[in-house]
Amino acid sequence: MKNPMFKTQVTLLLWSGLLMGCSSGPSSLPEVKPQAQLSIQNADPSVIRVGSTYHSVESDGKLIFVRSASSVAGLASATRQQVWSNPNNIPEIWAPEIIKDGTTHYIYFAGGAGANHRMYFIQSQNPTSGYSAATQMALPGNQWAIDGVPFKYNNQWWFVWSGWERTFAAGEQQEQTLYLARMTNPTTVTGNRFVISQPRESWERVDGWHPSWVNEGPQPIMDPSGQLHIVYSANGSWDVNYCLADLRLRAGGDPSYVWDWYKSNGCLFSSNAPMMAGWDPTLYAKGVGHHSFVLLNGDINTSPPAGSSFPLAYHGVPKNSFPSNFWAGRFWYSGSFMWWGNTTYTRGSASNTGWSLKFFE
C-alpha cells in the first residue's frame, strides 16, 4: 500500500548498452556506473517525453504538480508547478500518472481515505496548466483502487490498476491484485475487470504477515516482438523488499485471460538477492520499485527496440540510510533498462519463452 503522507518524484538518465537479444539468462555485463540519487524526495515517479520536452508528475499527498525540462536529468532542478488544487479536499492523493493522447494530457491518481481509495483523472490541452476538475473513474467492482494507468494495445484501450477483490475487515489479511479492464477511450472503462496477477509467489510475500500482500505500480510496455508486458512492484513499499517483476502476455494471447500471462521467476530488480531470478541485487538503493518507463507521450506503441538501454525512473531509499519512517526516506532515482531475450518464465508445468528485461541502477 501507499504512503498516506507523501508520494515521490525522480528523474532519469540514458545509459548506452549492448544488445542482449539471445541470452538464456543473466551473464557478465558491461560495468555500469551508479546513477546519482535525484534531489526529489518523493515516491512513484511518472515521466513521459512530449516532442523534445520531458514532463514528470508528482503529489505531496494533497496537491498535484508537474515539472518540465529539456532532459530527464533536468527535471530535478525544474520548477515544480501546481496543476491541481484539490478543491474538494480529497484525502491521500497518491501516485499520479501522466500520458498524452492526441492533443490532450491526462493525469490519473488515487484519492480517498483508507478503504475508500478510488481512481480519478484530470485533463488539459496544456501539460502544466488548465486541468479540469477531478472525475472519479467508474471502475468495475467499485472497490479500493490505486496506481491505475491506461494504454492502447492492438488498437484497444485498456486500464490496468492495483485493487482489492472486496473490502477487507480491520486486521484482516489483505491482497492487492492487478486488474485489467477494456476502455472505449482514455477515460471510460467498460465491461468487467479481469485478474492478471495476485501476490501468491513466495518472493512476493517475503515481508511475512502484514495487512497487505502486494502487487501494485503496474507499467505496460511492448517488447521487440510486439508482446505486451506489465512490469509491476511486489512486496511492501514500506520496507527493503519492494522490487520489480514482470508479467509477459504470450504471443497472440488475450490480455483479459489470466492464464495467457506468465510471471517472471522472481524479482528482476531488487536489493534482496534471494528474491531474484539470478540477477545481481542493487548496490546503492533498497526498497526499489514503482518505476516509470520514459516513453513518447507515455504510449506503449513507442516502446524501445532491442539494442541499447533506455531511461528508467524508480524510487528507493539509500542503502546506507535507516530512516525511522521508510516511506518518508524515499527518493527518485535514475537508471536504465534493456530488453533481454530468450528468457523462460515457468508456471507449474507450463512455460513461456520470450523477451524479459534487465534493469540497471
What pTM does this model have?
A: 0.90
Output the tens digit of pLDDT for each of the chain's 361 residues: 444 333 333 333 333 333 333 333 433 333 334 456 778 999 999 999 999 999 999 999 999 999 999 987 889 999 999 999 999 999 999 999 999 999 999 999 999 998 999 999 999 999 999 999 999 999 999 999 999 999 999 999 999 999 999 988 777 888 999 999 999 999 999 999 999 999 999 999 998 667 789 999 999 999 999 999 999 999 999 999 999 999 999 999 999 999 999 999 999 999 999 999 788 999 999 999 999 999 999 999 999 999 989 999 999 999 999 999 999 999 999 899 999 999 999 999 999 999 999 999 9
pLDDT (0 to 100) of residue 7: 33
CA atoms of 6 and 307, how far apart (whole Å): 36
Taking Cα atoms as reference points, which of 297, 274, 292, 295 lies closest to residue 333? Answer: 292
pLDDT of residue 87: 97
Neighbouring C-beta atoms of residue 87, cutoff 10 Å: 8
Alpha carbons 117 and 111: distance in angstroms, whole number? 5
Domain spans, the chain: 149-360
Predicted local confidence at residue 125, as pLDDT: 98
Q: Cell 500471462 sits at which residue?
A: 261
Strand order in the sheet with 310-318: 285-293, 310-318, 331-347, 350-360
Burial class (CB in 10 A: 0-12, 13-18, 19+), 340: buried
- 149-360: CATH number: 2.115.10.20
Taking phi first (over 0 means left), then psi (-120 to 50 degrees means alpha), and beta for anything else, what does residue 206 get?
Answer: alpha
Residue 209: what pLDDT?
65
CA distances in angstroms from 66 to 175, 182, 260, listed in the order given: 31, 28, 37
Write out the three cell numbers for 109: 491518481
**CA distance linking residue 106 with residue 132, whole number of Å:** 10
Closest CA to 44 of 110, 101, 100, 105: 110
How many whole angstroms separate alpha carbon 12 and alpha carbon 14? 7
